[in-house]
């Protein structure tokens, strides 16, 4: 709740705006808020995508290292048995 309503402080703005002016300002503010929300959503999406791809690449790299180690161990074992 705004402080002016909580403490019953009189508003310093003149209340001479018409309904059409109020609606125009409201529409402008809603468009601004919508644009900010879209921009924030897009930046969050890009960040999440970047983090996902980073983890995916790291995981694939770890799989490659593990398979290389297994192949090396298997090759060593086969050479000892031969």
Is 59 part of a structural domain of the chain?
yes
Phi, psi of 16 (to 5 degrees): -105, 10
List the beta strands (DSSP E) in the chain: none
Residue 77 lies in domain = 38-82
pLDDT in tens, 19-75: 999 999 999 999 999 999 999 999 999 999 888 878 777 767 677 778 888 888 888
What is the total count of domains within the chain? 1
| Buried b / exposed e along 24-60 (16+ C-beta atoms within 10 A) | eeeeeeeeeeeeeeeeeeeeeeeeeeeeeeeeeeeee
71 by Cβ neighbours in 10 Å (0-12 / 13-18 / 19+) ranks as exposed
Is 28 part of a structural domain of the chain?
no
Q: pTM for this one?
A: 0.49
Is 27 part of a structural domain of the chain?
no
Is 65 part of a structural domain of the chain?
yes
Is 24 part of a structural domain of the chain?
no
């Amino acid at each position: 709740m705004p402080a002016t309503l909580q403490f019953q402080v009189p508003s310093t703005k003149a209340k001479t705006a018409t309904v059409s002016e109020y609606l125009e300002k409201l529409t402008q503010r809603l468009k601004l808020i919508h644009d900010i929300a879209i921009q924030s959503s897009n930046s969050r999406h890009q960040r999440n995508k970047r983090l996902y791809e980073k983890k995916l690449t790291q995981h694939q790299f770890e799989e490659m290292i593990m398979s290389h180690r297994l192949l090396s161990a298997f090759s060593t074992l086969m050479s000892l048995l031969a």
